[in-house]
Structure 1
Amino acid sequence: MNLLDTVTNTKDLIAEKYNGKIDFAIVLGSGLGDLANKIENPIIIPYSDIPGFPKTTVAGHKGELIIGDIASKKVLAFNGRFHYYEGHSMKNVTIGIRVAQKLRIKNLIISNAAGAMNPKFKPGDLMVISDHINMMGDNPLIGENIDEFGPRFPDMSSCYDKEYINKVKNIGSNLGIDLVEGVYTAITGPNYQSPAELRMLRIIGGDAVGMSTVPEVIVANHGSMRVLGISVITDMALWDTLEPLDHSDVVATANRAKDKFIKLIEEFIREV
């Protein structure tokens, strides 16, 4: 089954269960799946029930699609994402975004767990993503362009919506949630970086580093979606003081930050 067929079939499957307007698509990163528990009137579709859909294999990524309500808005949440390092093609990594576009969803909230290369950050911070650097050595738009999805050469000058950045910063201030802002750098993984690699990524302008998000944001912009990106800072990835890191630590720190993350995203959805 090719990409367009899988996307169309998934869209039709969702339409059988809910055929109304959906305001937001949400991609939930490692340890942030509890936002799904805030979705009211949920319709849950396991990824395993969707023909041709990839499977997620990483701890902290449940692997289900949820349609429901947050703050009186209709959302489509991907509770668990697909990673390039799992062996998925870039087309499969970003297939959820294509499904959202097929459903005519105009807004994307995307989250992740990331290591801080900016020494001013600390574990537990929420970083509003202002821009990104793609260091994955691949791009989901390589290959034949499907004009139905977007143009051959999409613009990325405002890949994270500036109005949404300002709005979420104002919301954070009103809620008493301290936010930082920075550039997210995406690498393939699955290994964490060496000190020399982190030094390079910091020198070229990265504030945080992770193994996701950028492919989805590229595809979202290809399809003219407005994007808000939030990284939960789970560890300090400082090249000169680097300590051993385990994925369980990443998930645990994300879990500790989830309450303020959920509060922030709920209010953002309410106000947009």
Structure 2
Amino acid sequence: MREKLTGTVEYIKNSTNTKPQVGLILGSGLGMLADLIEDKEEIPYGEIPHFPVSTVAGHKGQLVFGTLRGKQVVAMQGRFHFYEGYTMQEVTYPVRVLKEMGVEKIIVTNAAGGINIDFRPGDLMLIKDHIHYMGNNPLIGKNDEELGPRFPDMSEAYNKELRELVKKVALENKIPMQDGVYMSCTGPSYETPAEIRFMRTIGADAVGMSTTPEVIVANHAGIKVIGISCITNMAAGVLNKKLDHGEVMETAEIAKEKFSNLILNVLGEL
């Protein structure tokens, strides 16, 4: 891991003049935020040593460096998923790279299915906590104490102070926001109605196939996290309709204006 990180970070530092303060991990249909970055420098994942390559529609697959609302940022325009066949360590490798580059805060976004019956497609949900239900953990294996502690605390996986900041920004800019618990599953199949009833029973408000591995590693590395879900569809059985990825992308497109507005204003306050 240490040798790989050194090679990756050296390559990236030789490819950009940006020294990012904030990292953005952009989920399905939400990569348009990277298009707003000023003075941007783009590095395709395929050119970066030891980096995985995104294979999912709606994920462009590149790092975008530059300035956004006065902050130097790096955006992952597309992420990696366990269901693509990558290991948990590969899925979360970019978070390690961001840490080595000096990133202290990350905003993690995703497209999610709504479990809470009060939610509607197009809603934004501030993640207050999560249920990691993937049957694997990115920290399994020998621990490198230089990267983080063997047993990292997850009692505040999504930084409380930053959550309050997001709520304040949303209120000031009249951006409606839900607040809830995100649950992750491996995918790539969508959940069954019975599974959704189970998830609602144990306290989940939204479900997706990403995010929690990156958040676990971010906490391990000492990075503060903001998590935001775009509710792109209601989960199986909630509205008695079939699910497809096209609907996810369409709803993300509809919600992109308020999503971008929220993130931009949050960045301005960080």
- Scaled to the shorter chain, the TM-score interval is over 0.9
Q: Which amino acid aligns with 2:246?
A: S
User: Is 1:116–1:207's contact at 8 Å kept on the other side of the alignment?
Assistant: yes
Cα deviation for residue 20 of structure 1 reads 5.3
Aligned to 1:227: 225
TM-score (norm 1): 0.97
Tell me whether 1:11 sits opposite 2:16 in the alignment.
no
Superposed displacement of residue 240, structure 1: 5.1
User: What is the TM-score with the length of structure 2 in the denominator?
Assistant: 0.98
| Structure 1 outlier segments of 4+, above 4 Å | none
Q: Which of these residues, 61, 64, 67, is aligned with residue 63 of structure 1?
A: 61
Secondary structure of 1:21 counterpart: coil
Residue in 1 aligned with 2:180?
Answer: 182
Task: String of CA shifts for 1:3-36, please: whole Å, max 9, x gaps.
Answer: 3322221111121133553210110000001101
Among candidates 22, 25, 46, match of residue 23 of structure 2: 25
1:34 aligned residue: 32
Whole-angstrom CA distance in 1 between matches of 2:135 and 2:42: 34
CA distance in 2, matches of 1:256, 1:123: 10
Any idea what the Cα deviations from partners look like across 1:134-168, whole Å, max 9, x if unmatched?
11000000001111210000000101011111111
Q: Which residue of 2 aligns with 1:114?
A: 112
Q: 166-175 or 13-22, which moves further after superposition?
A: 13-22
State the superposition RMSD in angstroms. 1.1
Work out whether residues 236 and 243 of structure 2, in 8 Å CA contact, stay in contact via their aligned partners in 1.
no
Residue 183 of structure 2 corresponds to residue 199 of structure 1: no
Distance (whole Å) between structure 2 residues aligned to residue 139 and residue 70 of structure 1: 32
AA of the residue aligned to 1:12: E
Aligned residue number for residue 157 of structure 1: 155
> Please, which of 26, 45, 50 is the counterpart of residue 47 of structure 1?
45
User: Which sections of structure 2, spanning at least 5 residues, go unmatched?
Assistant: none
> Which segments of 5 or more consecutive residues in structure 1 lack a partner in the other structure?
none
Report SS of the residue matched to 1:94.
helix
CA deviations over 1:85-129 (Å, ceiling 9, x no partner): 000000010011000111121001000000000011110000000
Quote the Cα distance in structure 1 between the aligned partners of 2:250 and 2:154: 33
Amino acid of the residue matched to residue 55 of structure 1?
V
